[in-house]
Structure 1
Amino acid sequence: MMGILESIKRFFVLPEKDNDILKSNCFKVDYLVIDLELTGLNAKQDEIVSIAWVPISHQRIQIGQCQHFINNQVSNLNQSPVFHGIDNTTIAAGVPLNEALKALNELLDDKILIFHNQQLDWGFLRIAFNKAGLLHKPLAILDTMNIEHKRLARQGHVIAQDSLTLSSCRERYRLPEYNCHNALTDAMATAELFLAQANQISRGKPLLVKHLM
């Protein structure tokens, strides 16, 4: 009963917290970088294959707190193994999706979420949370793809269709290329990209969270 009351309280109280967190120095707050592997791009009919997250605290990636879950309830992988390399054998060794969602839900109270393509991944997560009966209201959400789009637009760059992929964005900051792509490596890659973006935009000056939205 207490857990339900806390979830309800969190859902309704957070708007005031949101306002405070947006005015915070972006280098002094905690983040959770999340990446998903999916069976497709339609959040209403496709499935989450895996979830991974990477915490950032005070500009440091917390390697020991990273998590990676494979969803053993995926009903149809379709052609998705071509992209993420997860086959039915890997799926069988995973865990129920709700187990991963509950672990993630426990971290949402005090961290800003970061995605590379928030619209896609958060769309899937929001539906999954609803199906699991979990109330969710993150402090705020940042999108490294959106951050890069705005940064390039301010500089007057022509933004090509493929210039906002995770690998393309990382290349502009001379970050190394990851050869193995899965939810955990992509979450790590996104975390590194975010830190590079924030430092590039701030140029050593204070930078508020709201300036990255």
Structure 2
Amino acid sequence: MNWIVRWWRTLYHQMKLRQLEFNGAQYVVLDLELTGLDAQKDEIVSAAWLIIEQGRIRLDSAEYYLNKEVHTLSQSPVYHGIDEQMLEQGELISQILTRLVAALEGKILVCHNAQLDWSFLKKVCRCNDFTLKPLAILDTMAIEKRRLATSTVPLGAHSLTLPICRNRYHLPEYAVHNALTDSLATAELLLAQVSAISSGKRLKLGRLLH
């Protein structure tokens, strides 16, 4: 019987969330830099996030951390520029997770390619006895993919990368593979997508959640 009650409560909260207006929620926009793309063997090198509140990016909320417990960087410094000496000045992954758990309380997590980032977060949380409970997860890459699916433009191999997605909305070019810059870039992309989808009208979260 208890599982039925929990199921109904979950369903109720999901339905209520979908009816919430975009500007009525708070968002933690996260980016991770990684040693590779396989969550089973690769590691988080750095993490950064900032908050969107009332439809505006709060630059004063930005947080950026290096993971001092990375075992091997392999060839990844070629992309993100972080070396072992820099990591020595970083934080324990448990400290980073503690701050992220606090930041996410009562908020929606936003990533570009959420499936990838979430797989790494689940792994490190499992290994360090943490639980992340965002209200929901928004994926700017998935949002863009759905938007492009309604057009006649074919999807190329790199059509959904963060820089290419931003370019469609005439957003400025940023250097990539820096977690802090990429979190800001993702936040700006989300707001541009919301503006395009809503056409200046109020937008409910159900239009973005799938």
Q: Distance in 2 between matches of 1:131 and 1:14?
A: 26
Alignment of 1:6-85 (within 5 A): 16-85=12-81
Is it true that 1:165 corresponds to 2:145 in the alignment?
Answer: no
| Distance in 2 (alpha carbons) for counterparts of 1:136 and 1:85 | 28
Match of 1:102 in 2: 98
The equivalent residue for 1:196 is 192
Deviation at 1:20, TM superposition (A): 1.6
Aligned-partner SS, 2:195: helix
Specify the SS of the correspondent of 2:41. coil
* Paired amino acid for 1:81: P
Question: What is the distance in 1 between the residues matched to 2:56 and 2:202?
Answer: 17
Q: 1:149 aligns with which of 145, 160, 169?
A: 145
The residue type equivalent to 1:157 in the other structure is V
Query: Is the 1:72–1:97 contact (alpha carbons within 8 Å) kept by the matching residues of 2?
Result: yes
**2:175/2:181 contact within 8 Å kept:** no
* Counterparts of 2:190 and 2:176, CA distance in 1: 20
Q: Percent identity?
A: 46
In structure 2, how many angstroms separate the alpha carbons of the residues matched to 1:104 and 1:15?
26
2:3 maps to none
**Cα distance between partner residues in 2 of 1:15 and 1:139:** 13
Q: Does the 8 Å contact 1:17/1:139 carry over to 2?
A: no
> Are the counterparts in 2 of residues 116 and 190 from structure 1 also a CA contact under 8 Å?
yes
Say whether 1:205 aligns with 2:187: no
Letter in 2 for 1:124: F
Kindly state the Cα deviation for residue 155 of structure 1 after the two structures are TM-superposed: 2.1
1:6 corresponds to:
none
* TM-score relative to the length of structure 1: 0.90
How far the C-alpha of 1:14 sits from its partner, in A, is 6.0
In structure 2, the partner of 1:131 is: 127
What is the DSSP-based 3-state SS (H/G/I as helix, E as strand, rest coil) of the residue aligned with 2:60?
helix
Contact 1:53 1:67 in 2 (8 A): yes
Q: Distance in 1 between matches of 2:42 and 2:34?
A: 7
1:181 positional shift: 3.6
Counterpart-to-counterpart distance in 2, 1:107 and 1:127: 19
Name whichever of 62-71 and 201-210 sits farther off.
201-210
| Cα offset, 1:157, TM superposition | 2.1
Amino acid of the structure 1 residue aligned with 2:151: Q
Give, in whole Å, the separation in 2 of the partners of 1:160 and 1:49: 29
Q: Kindly indicate whether the alpha-carbon contact (under 8 Å) linking 1:14 and 1:137 is maintained by their aligned counterparts in 2.
A: no
CA distance in 1, matches of 2:92, 2:150: 44
* Distance in 2, Cα, partners of 1:14 & 1:68: 32
- Number of the residue aligned with 2:6: none
Alpha carbons of structure 1 residues 130 and 155: separation in structure 2 relative to 1, 3 Å: same
Structure 2 distance, partners of 1:128, 1:90, is 21
Contiguous gaps of at least 5 residues in structure 2: 1-8
Shift in CA distance, 158/40, structure 1 to aligned 2, threshold 3 Å: same
